[in-house]
Every structure is written in C-alpha cells, then in structure tokens.
Chains A and B, each alone.
Chain A
C-alpha cells in the first residue's frame, strides 16, 4: 500500500475562489483546479520570495516534495493561461498552521498564543469561533 500523503501546512487559505479569463467569445469550457498547497507553494516561493528549502520547512514537507508541489502548480497555471480555462482553488491535503479565531460581537479576527486564555481579547467573552 502506498504511503499516505503528509499534511502540508499552509499559513492562510486564499480569500477568493479563483480566476476567470475575460475577453473571450465563448466561456471557458474546462477548469483547472489548483489545490491549497499549490497556491501556498506559489505564494511562498514567488510572492514572499523564500527559497524552496525555506518554503518547504514552513509547509512541514521535504524540499523535493515542495518542488514537486510547486512544479505541479506552475504547470496548472500554464495550462490555464494557454487553454484560457478557469482556475479554481479547491481541495488538497492542507492544514492551517495556526488557527485564527473570531469574535462575532467585536467583529475581529485574532490569533491565540499558547498562554492566552481562549477568550476574545476585547470583550473577554468565551463565545469565539474557530475559523476554517
């Protein structure tokens, strides 16, 4: 039996669900789905300008695995560009690095450290939600 896929740690999920080509006569027929770890790989490597080794450490995977994920992401983006297809962000084997919480009363999002009590830092209410 094949080894199970290790969870890739991501910092934050993308805030939108994808891209659509414009200026085309008929709507794109096919869709390219980029999963969350591929989005994270592109973000860490080409946006935050980390090296593959640093990015791999942040995602808690080996450097070769990171390169594979990154390579796959680039190929999918290239395919979408050339074939004018829609890009969707979905799926994958990603887990969020540290959960963020939100307080519906104060309308804030916040992080909790190891020694922080599990309450909203403003209203001190324990009525908080875990995001994602």
Chain B
C-alpha cells in the first residue's frame, strides 16, 4: 500500500500541509518496503487546477491513501472516483507521528 502526504518540507519532521494542491512537497510512503520517496510539487504556483494536476501526478505512483489538511472539491471528487482514501489529520500534525500510527 502506498500513502501520499502533502508536506511543507521534505523530511519526516515536516508538518502536514494545510492544503493538498498548494503544498511544497509530497511524501510517498510504501508500507511494504518502508521507504519514503519525496517529490516536489510542480503545480504549487499555477493559477488554476493545482490540486487536480497534483492528484493526477500522484496517481502515477499508484497511491491508495492521501493525507492533507484540506482537499478541494475537484480533488475530492477525483480521488473518490479513483478509490483513493482521503485522510485529514489534526492541525499541525507531524508526518513522522502519522508514520508511527501507520506502522503500528
């Protein structure tokens, strides 16, 4: 299973970004290999459709779960269609604390 999270920085101590489409980094965690792969968000400064382009990009990594502080309407619809589960943690939650919960 692969889990993608919207992050503000590219390390495990980073907090989960408040907005899915406009975050700086995506962390993609593979539960089988226990590896984290970081990708920069190329769409963060585009005027429109940042969320959808990012969601499309993450689909190429075959993610099953997406984590962010908020999902836009279009992104939520897109993920629902592609059977990606969305998770909204508490505000300012750290990525490593969520990883602990996942591995638990």
Question: In this assembly, does B90 line the interface, its C-beta being within 8 Å of a C-beta of chain A?
Answer: yes
A100 to B86, CA, bound (A): 9
B104 touches A113 (CB 8 A): no
B89 touches A108 (CB 8 A): yes
Shortest B27–chain A CB gap in Å is 16
Shortest A127–chain B CB gap in Å is 15
Question: In this assembly, does A30 line the interface, its C-beta being within 8 Å of a C-beta of chain B?
Answer: no
Question: In this assembly, does A6 line the interface, its C-beta being within 8 Å of a C-beta of chain B?
Answer: no
B101 touches A123 (CB 8 A): yes
| Residue of B whose beta carbon sits closest to that of A110 | B87
Query: Shortest 4 CB-CB distances between A and B: which pairs?
Result: A109-B88, A122-B101, A110-B87, A111-B86
- The chain B residues found within 8 Å of chain A, CB to CB, are 48, 65, 72-74, 76-77, 79-80, 83-90, 98, 101-102, 104
| Residue of B whose beta carbon sits closest to that of A47 | B73
Contacts of A123 in B (CB 8 A): 101, 104
A121 touches B87 (CB 8 A): yes
A109 to B85, CA, bound (A): 11
Given the known A-B contacts A49-B48, A106-B101, A123-B101, are A111 and B73 also in contact in the complex, defined by CB atoms under 8 Å?
Answer: no
Shortest A113–chain B CB gap in Å is 5
Query: Which one of B48, B85, B101 lies within 8 Å of A111 (CB-CB)?
Result: B85
Contacts of A111 in B (CB 8 A): 76, 79-80, 85-87
Contacts of B83 in A (CB 8 A): 113-115
| Residue of A whose beta carbon sits closest to that of B81 | A113
